[in-house]
Structure 1
Amino acid sequence: MKYLFSEETVAVPQDVKVHIRSRIVSVEGPRGKLTKDLSHIAVTFSLPEKKDKDGKQLIKIEIHHGSRKNVATLRTVKSIIDNLITGVTRGYKYKMRYVYAHFPINVNIEKGDDGVQMVEIRNFLGEKLVRHVKMQEGVTVEPSKGVKDQIELTGNSLEGVSQSAADIQQICRVRNKDIRKFLDGLYVSERGNILDE
């Protein structure tokens, strides 16, 4: 079944500027600038003159003659733009805890040659192998203050922060052992925004 016309709207806060050109969305706010290329998704963007009841600028995302799957992409695009706006206004913070039973995990944070931060994990399950994880662009890592065995990943891009956390978690997967017994690793314990604290 084809849907003749479907639309979603995104409200943009006062202190945020959104620029859309040939489906490349740039969002600029107090914390910085983020860009996302949505040129592979067949949607139409428009900036109507009228604002919502709070005086916020609106962005309309429309699709004509779309199938059910095409209409589903509308909500995805809306969520992506909402995440970009949240990123440049409040930022994202993930907290990761080290879990170990016997061998204490050692984590060092260092800068790579290209200025991007790296996380170095040693003594995981007593192994001599040193694991290195490169952070995504714009993501910073630091040990938590006052909390033992915890690191905090912060950044403006939700994709960057969450992918960096996933990379750290996945490099510490336990292989060739019963994972119900060997629960060691680095796991995300808390997700939130930087400015909510």
Structure 2
Amino acid sequence: MKYIFSEETVVVPENVKVHIRSRIVTVEGPRGKLTKDLSHIAVTFALPEEKNKDGLQTIRIEIHHGSRKNVATLRTVKSIVDNLITGVTKGYKYKMRYVYAHFPINVNIEKGDDGQQMVEIRNFLGEKLVRHVKMAPGVTVEPSKGVKDQIELTGESLENVSQSAADIQQICRVRNKDIRKFLDGLYVSERGHIAEE
């Protein structure tokens, strides 16, 4: 079944500028600038001149004659744009805790050759292997102040922050052992925003 017309709307806060050209969305706000290429998704963006009842600009995302799957992409695009707006206004912060039973995990934060931060993990399960994880662009890592065995990943792009956290968690997977018993690793303990309300 085809849906003749479907649309979603995104409300843009006052301190954010959104520019869309050939489905490449650029969002500029107090925390910086983010760009996302959505040219592979067949949706139409409309920036109406008139503002909504609260005096804020809105973005309309539309699709004509779409199947059920095509209409599902509308909500995805809306979520992506919302995440970009949240990123440039509040930013994203992920907290990761070290979990170990016997061998204390040592985590060092270093600068790579290209200026990107790297996380170095030593003594995981007592192994001599040193694990290195390179952070995605725009992601900063620092040890938590006042909390032992915790690091904080911060950045404007939700995709980059969450991917960096996933990379750290994945590199500390326990292999060839019963994972119900060996729970060691670095795990995301908390997700939030840099600018707390």
Structures share a fold, TM > 0.5? yes
Most deviating of 45-54 and 121-130: 45-54
Percent identity between matched residues is: 89
Taking the TM superposition and a 5 Å limit, the aligned residue runs for 1:75-86 are 75-86=75-86
Aligned: 1:150 with 2:154 = no
Normalised TM-score (structure 1): 0.99
Instruction: State the 1:86 CA deviation.
Output: 0.2
Unaligned runs of 5+ in 2: none
Secondary structure, counterpart of 1:194 in structure 2: coil
Normalised TM-score (structure 2): 0.99
Secondary structure, counterpart of 1:186 in structure 2: strand
Secondary structure, counterpart of 1:142 in structure 2: strand
Structure 2 counterpart of 1:176, one-letter code: N
Structure 2 counterpart of 1:19, one-letter code: H
Alignment partner, residue 135 of structure 2: 135
Alignment partner, residue 24 of structure 2: 24
Secondary structure, counterpart of 1:190 in structure 2: strand
CA distance in 2, matches of 1:37, 1:134: 23
Taking the TM superposition and a 5 Å limit, the aligned residue runs for 1:151-190 are 151-190=151-190
Instruction: State the 1:54 CA deviation.
Output: 1.3
CA distance in 1, matches of 2:167, 2:51: 41
Alignment partner, residue 65 of structure 1: 65
Alignment partner, residue 35 of structure 1: 35
Instruction: State the 1:169 CA deviation.
Output: 0.2
CA distance in 1, matches of 2:93, 2:114: 23
Instruction: State the 1:49 CA deviation.
Output: 1.7
Alignment partner, residue 93 of structure 2: 93
Secondary structure, counterpart of 1:132 in structure 2: strand
Instruction: State the 1:78 CA deviation.
Output: 0.2
Q: State how many pairs are aligned.
A: 197
Alignment partner, residue 46 of structure 1: 46
Alignment partner, residue 119 of structure 1: 119
Instruction: State the 1:22 CA deviation.
Output: 0.2
CA distance in 2, matches of 1:9, 1:93: 26
Deviations 1:112-155 (A, max 9, x none): 01000000000000000000000000000000000000000000
Deviations 1:12-57 (A, max 9, x none): 0000000000000000000000000000000000011221121110
Secondary structure, counterpart of 1:58 in structure 2: strand
Structure 2 counterpart of 1:150, one-letter code: Q
